[in-house]
């Protein structure tokens, strides 16, 4: 029997069955039924992310948006902005209770924006189970008061990219193991016109990724385990003293005005011998090897190696930028947003994006350490596979908190080193940072 | 047939007289429109509503935020002047405050001097004068963000075309740290602000110059005054009111400048080029401490109020004289 609207008993039962299936098994049901839930149809899902340093990753996400739109029955749209513009966008969105449904979170931002974010513990629990558990850093940054307020997505590890042949020329056949060795080798390289490149500017990634571990590796700490300010210490002073000397003797002093892109350009332009960075320099050199050549006319990529940060008197730790996705509390598409995240962080779509990233971004879970990509990847890239294992979190030795995010957002630790590099006495730079931290932590 | 004569005095009974219809009342809507008070109110309402929405409401909200501990996602409570006290004792705020004064002072002086010079030049007759006048406005027309990006590339710490040029012609042997040194960075910002703001000074002063009668100049010349004396004794006194108005506008705009510093230096290195507006933005919007950010930005208000009040008072005295 067919109704006047063309619905017969069979199609009615099929549609109803699909709808019941959706209700019963959620996303799996949607995918199996190959049909979007009626409620999601005509809905838009707006996701705000950073401009990836691997542009192909954003191209892949645009493809996935089409796929996700079909799977979820909603129009999935990505918007990409400069990472330095994300925080203002988040503040504006939360205050106006309007904006993207899902926003990219860097570092420990979920702690700062906690009141504006939805609890996604259920999806996080699924992801951890599905993909072998989160790295400690990713979990600590996304989990606020026992609840996941963002879903850990990836980590961009920072290693030092360096020109092997130039280091060989000054007698450093392997990368310096300590900061003091790096200072000596860097000094020799600068004299030959190949300075070390490091930003100490107000920029989101490379500056804190250098400054925080430098503080820790000399024994300095932002706070103690109870969150009390302890930055005014011998370790901090020694770290700033190193920075001042290293800056003059080994670094490109223009780095005080660099953002996260300047060191990439300087390295690929043959202006610097080494820089702390994600794998984007290597990947850009590889993809553009027809144009990006070294001083002998050979593809520069063949001369690039990576190394971990050297050790200081207190050891060798690193800081790697963690990324997550947060569902905004104000969005009316709560379920759809969570369904999307489950789809997006699922092994299929995530795996495709991960492969395009070629090691620039690694997983937030250990599962991705075992991805076949690592078996075929170039030798200099292999260090990125397990790089996040020695990362500490901002606010160390205290727990990640909104206060630690405030310190980061005001660039207090970065500026402490920048002041030293500008010539301020190390003790005064540390005292300045201590007073700023005191005002923040109370 | 009787001839109708209006207002005739003789044989009045036989005449039809056209008289004003005093007994007829105008329509109510017409009467309402004829009420000056009501009409003024009607005409002013859109302006008042717009000013209320776009000026008064944000201002009142700003004042409220500055007196509260509002942060992103938290409505906050009244905390009195705590944010102002906190800002005043903050070393970065102090740096930003003095930077703002320094930046405004030198940028305004430079814009005035160069703008005046340009206006005097453009007030002369020469071939292509119109093209020069139009092209002079280009820095003012191009969006600040775009032009500042261009300047940023010219000052780039690694690939600066200016450094390259100066090195090639042999003026320098090492790079000038345009943006990586605090002092240089501040002067780069002043130069860009001057480049951008000078046309506004020049065009306004030029308009002022054109209102000055050439007879006065000729008379001064006949009396033996040289170029400087003619400027100082004739042009400048007559141009002073216009100059003061332009300077007031410029001080307000420069003191609250944001875009230029945000794009050029981001307040760095180590906060050495932060202005009140950029620091307020960093604290209020980037860090999410809306109350503290609002307090920092409100520090501009009394300073600007005093400067503007003094200048306008002086202007009134000039006009009275």
Q: Residues A175-213: pLDDT tens digits? A: 999 999 999 999 999 999 999 999 999 988 999 999 999
State which residues form the domain around A47. 40-155+321-376
Token output for B316: 């009134």
The pLDDT of residue B27 is 72
Among A376, A404, A422, residue at a domain's last position: A376
Q: How high is the mean pLDDT of chain A?
A: 91
Q: Are residues A244 and A358 in the same domain?
A: no
Nearest CA in chain A to B288: A91
Among A343, A359, A376, residue at a domain's last position: A376
The pLDDT of B56-85, averaged and rounded, is 94
Among A358, A376, A394, residue at a domain's last position: A376
The pLDDT of residue A15 is 46
The pLDDT of B1-25, averaged and rounded, is 52
Q: Are residues A432 and A303 in the same domain?
A: yes
Is the pLDDT confidence value at A73 over 80? yes
| Cα A117 from Cα A137, distance rounded (Å) | 19
Q: What are phi and psi of A147, to 5 degrees?
A: -120, 140
Which of B158, B181, B267 has its CB closest to that of A202?
A: B267
Is the pLDDT confidence value at A3 over 60? no
Which of A201, A269, A405 has its CB closest to that of B269?
A: A201
Question: Would you tell me how many other CB atoms lie within 10 Å of the CB of residue A128?
Answer: 18
Tell me which of A98-102, A128-132, A370-374, B6-10 is least confident: B6-10
Which of B91, B179, B266 has its CB closest to that of A432?
A: B91
Distance of CA A294 to the CA centre of its chain: 29
A169 in any annotated domain: yes
A221 in any annotated domain: yes
Q: Which domains does chain B have, with CATH numbers?
A: 92-320 (1.10.3720.10)
A137 in any annotated domain: yes
Q: Are residues A83 and A145 in the same domain?
A: yes
ipTM: 0.82
Task: Classify strands A362-363 and A321-327 as parallel, antiparallel or unpaired.
Answer: unpaired
Q: What are phi and psi of A427, to 5 degrees?
A: -60, -40
The pLDDT of A33-54, averaged and rounded, is 74
What residues in B contact A434, CB-CB < 8 Å?
A: none
Cβ-contact B272, B259 below 8 angstroms: no
The pLDDT of residue B19 is 57
Token output for B182: 């605090």
Handedness of CA A22, A25, A27, A33 (dihedral sign): negative
Token output for B13: 């009974």
Largest CA distance in chain B: 114
The pLDDT of A98-124, averaged and rounded, is 96
The pLDDT of residue A38 is 47
Is the pLDDT confidence value at A31 over 70? no
A29 in any annotated domain: no
Are residues B90 and A418, on separate chains, in Cβ contact within 8 Å? Answer: no
Cβ-contact B298, B63 below 8 angstroms: yes
Cβ-contact B197, B106 below 8 angstroms: no
Task: Classify strands A75-81 and A44-50 as parallel, antiparallel or unpaired.
Answer: parallel
Q: Report the share of chain B in percent with pLDDT over 70.
A: 91
**Any idea what the CATH number is for the domain that residue A271 is in?**
3.40.190.10
Tell me which of A218-222, A401-405, B83-87, B316-320 is least confident: B316-320
Token output for A326: 């947060």
**Helix residue spans in A254-303 (DSSP H):** 262-268, 280-287
Q: How confident is the model at residue B203 (pLDDT cuts 50, 70, 90)?
A: very high
Terminal C-alpha separation, chain B: 74
A32 in any annotated domain: no
Tens-digit pLDDT profile for residues B252-288: 999 999 999 999 999 989 999 999 999 999 999 988 9
Q: Are residues A259 and A371 in the same domain?
A: no
Is the pLDDT confidence value at A17 over 60? no
The pLDDT of residue A367 is 92
The pLDDT of A20-28, averaged and rounded, is 45
Is the pLDDT confidence value at B152 over 50? yes
A25 in any annotated domain: no
| Cα A229 from Cα B296, distance rounded (Å) | 25
Q: Which residues of B touch A (CB under 8 A)?
A: 72-74, 86, 89-92, 156-159, 175, 177-182, 185, 265-272, 281-290
Cβ-contact A263, A185 below 8 angstroms: no
Q: Are residues A333 and A391 in the same domain?
A: no
Q: How confident is the model at residue B21 (pLDDT cuts 50, 70, 90)?
A: low
Tell me which of A155-164, A212-221, B2-11 is least confident: B2-11
Q: How confident is the model at residue A127 (pLDDT cuts 50, 70, 90)?
A: very high
Q: Are residues A287 and A428 in the same domain?
A: yes
User: CB under 8 Å to A93, separation ≥6 — which residues?
Assistant: A99, A100, A103, A116, A328, A330
The pLDDT of B223-236, averaged and rounded, is 90
Are residues B270 and A90, on separate chains, in Cβ contact within 8 Å? Answer: no
Q: Are residues A300 and A206 in the same domain?
A: yes
The pLDDT of residue A13 is 45
The pLDDT of B57-77, averaged and rounded, is 94
The pLDDT of A77-97, averaged and rounded, is 94
Edge to edge, the sheet with strand A362-363 lists A75-81, A44-50, A102-106, A321-327, A151-156, A362-363
Is the pLDDT confidence value at A57 over 80? yes
What residues in B contact A410, CB-CB < 8 Å?
A: 92, 282-283, 287
Q: Report the share of chain B in percent with pLDDT over 90.
A: 65
Tell me which of A36-40, A119-123, A128-132, B264-268 is least confident: A36-40
Q: How confident is the model at residue B5 (pLDDT cuts 50, 70, 90)?
A: very low
Q: Are residues A213 and A256 in the same domain?
A: yes
Phi-psi region of B239 (alpha: psi -120 to 50; beta: other; left: phi over 0): alpha
The pLDDT of A139-147, averaged and rounded, is 95
Tens-digit pLDDT profile for residues A321-357: 999 999 999 999 999 999 999 999 999 999 999 999 9
Q: How confident is the model at residue B124 (pLDDT cuts 50, 70, 90)?
A: confident
User: CB under 8 Å to B133, separation ≥6 — which residues?
Assistant: B122, B203, B206
The pLDDT of residue B317 is 85
Tell me which of A18-22, A343-347, B93-97, B234-238 is least confident: A18-22
The pLDDT of A234-254, averaged and rounded, is 97
A377 touches B at CB < 8 Å? no
What residues in A contact B283, CB-CB < 8 Å?
A: 410
Q: Are residues A132 and A165 in the same domain?
A: no
Which of A88, A259, A265 has its CB closest to that of B286?
A: A88
* Count of domains for chain A: 2
Nearest CA in chain A to B89: A439
Is the pLDDT confidence value at B4 over 80? no
The pLDDT of residue B6 is 46
More confident residue, B16 or B85: B85
Tens-digit pLDDT profile for residues A251-310: 999 999 999 999 999 999 999 999 999 999 999 999 999 999 998 999 999 999 999 999
| Chain B interface mutation, best of A106, A109, A256, highest count of B Cβ atoms under 10 Å | A256
The pLDDT of A69-73, averaged and rounded, is 93
Q: Are residues A171 and A313 in the same domain?
A: yes
A233 in any annotated domain: yes
Torsion, Cα of B286, B291, B297, B300 (10° steps): -170
Which of B91, B92, B270 has its CB closest to that of A418?
A: B270
Q: Are residues A99 and A199 in the same domain?
A: no
Q: Are residues A123 and A134 in the same domain?
A: yes
Is the pLDDT confidence value at A365 over 90? yes
């Amino acid at each position: 029997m067919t109704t006047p609207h063309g619905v017969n008993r069979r199609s009615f039962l099929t549609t109803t069955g699909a709808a019941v299936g959706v209700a019963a098994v959620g996303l799996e049901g949607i995918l199996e039924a190959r049909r979007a839930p009626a409620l999601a149809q005509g809905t838009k899902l707006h996701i705000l992310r950073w401009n990836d340093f691997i542009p192909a990753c954003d191209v892949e996400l645009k493809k996935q948006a089409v796929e996700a739109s079909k799977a979820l029955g909603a129009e999935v749209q990505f918007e990409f902005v400069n990472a330095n513009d994300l925080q203002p966008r988040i503040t504006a969105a939360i205050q106006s209770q309007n904006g993207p449904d899902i926003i990219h979170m860097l570092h420990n931002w979920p702690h700062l924006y906690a009141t504006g974010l939805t609890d996604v513990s259920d999806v996080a629990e699924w992801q951890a189970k599905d993909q072998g558990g989160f790295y400690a850093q990713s979990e600590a940054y996304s989990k606020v008061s026992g609840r996941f307020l963002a879903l850990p997505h990836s980590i961009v590890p920072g290693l030092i990219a360096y020109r092997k042949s130039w280091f060989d020329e000054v007698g450093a056949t392997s990368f310096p193991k300590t900061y003091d060795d790096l200072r000596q080798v860097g000094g020799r390289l600068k004299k030959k016109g190949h300075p070390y490149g490091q930003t100490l500017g107000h920029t989101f990634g490379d500056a804190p990724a250098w400054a925080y571990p430098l503080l820790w590796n000399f024994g300095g700490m932002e706070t103690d385990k109870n969150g009390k300010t302890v930055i005014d210490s011998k370790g901090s002073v020694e770290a700033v003293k190193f920075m001042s000397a290293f800056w003059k003797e080994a670094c490109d002093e223009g780095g005080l005005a660099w953002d996260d892109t300047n060191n990439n350009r300087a390295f690929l332009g043959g202006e610097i011998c080494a820089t702390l960075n994600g794998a984007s320099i290597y990947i850009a050199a590889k993809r553009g090897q027809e144009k990006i050549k070294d001083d002998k006319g050979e593809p520069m990529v063949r001369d690039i190696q990576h190394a971990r940060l050297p050790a200081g008197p207190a050891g060798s730790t690193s800081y790697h930028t963690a990324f997550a996705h947060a569902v905004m509390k104000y969005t009316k598409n709560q379920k759809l947003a969570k369904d999307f995240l489950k789809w997006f962080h699922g092994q299929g779509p995530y795996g495709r994006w991960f492969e395009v990233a070629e090691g620039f971004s690694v997983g937030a879970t250990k599962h991705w350490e075992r991805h076949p990509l690592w078996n075929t990847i170039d030798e200099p890239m292999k260090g990125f596979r397990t790089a996040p294992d020695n990362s500490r979190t901002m606010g160390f030795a205290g727990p990640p908190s909104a206060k630690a995010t405030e310190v980061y957002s005001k660039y207090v630790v970065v500026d402490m080193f920048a002041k030293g590099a500008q010539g301020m006495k190390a003790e005064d730079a540390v005292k300045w940072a201590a007073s700023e931290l005191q005002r923040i932590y109370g | 047939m009787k001839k109708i004569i209006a207002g005739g005095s003789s044989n009045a009974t036989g005449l039809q007289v056209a008289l004003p219809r005093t007994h007829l009342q105008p329509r109510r809507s017409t009467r309402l429109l004829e009420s000056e008070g009501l009409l003024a109110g009607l005409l002013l309402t859109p302006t008042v509503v717009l000013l209320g929405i776009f000026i008064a409401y944000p201002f009142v909200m700003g004042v409220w935020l500055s007196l509260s501990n509002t942060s992103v996602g938290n409505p906050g409570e009244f905390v009195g002047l705590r944010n102002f006290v906190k800002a005043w004792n903050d070393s970065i705020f102090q740096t930003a405050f003095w930077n703002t004064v320094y930046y405004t002072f030198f940028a305004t002086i430079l814009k005035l001097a160069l703008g005046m010079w340009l206006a005097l030049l453009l007030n002369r007759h020469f071939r292509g004068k119109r093209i020069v006048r139009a092209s002079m406005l280009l820095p003012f027309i191009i969006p600040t963000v775009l032009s500042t990006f261009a300047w940023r590339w010219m000052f780039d710490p690694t690939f600066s075309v200016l450094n390259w040029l100066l090195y090639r012609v042999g003026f320098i042997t090492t790079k000038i740290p345009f943006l990586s040194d605090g002092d240089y960075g501040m002067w780069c910002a002043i130069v860009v602000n001057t480049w951008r703001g000078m046309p506004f000074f020049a065009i306004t002063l030029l308009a002022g110059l054109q209102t000055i009668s050439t007879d006065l100049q000729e008379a001064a010349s006949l009396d033996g005054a040289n170029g400087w004396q003619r400027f100082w004794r004739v042009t400048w006194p007559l141009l002073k009111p216009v100059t003061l108005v332009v300077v007031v506008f410029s001080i307000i705009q420069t003191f609250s400048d944001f875009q230029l510093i945000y794009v050029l230096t981001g307040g760095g290195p180590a906060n050495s080029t932060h202005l009140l507006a950029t620091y307020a933005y960093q604290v209020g919007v980037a860090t999410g401490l809306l109350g503290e950010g609002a307090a920092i930005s409100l520090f501009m208000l009394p300073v600007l109020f005093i400067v503007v009040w003094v200048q306008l008072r002086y202007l009134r005295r000039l006009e009275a004289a």
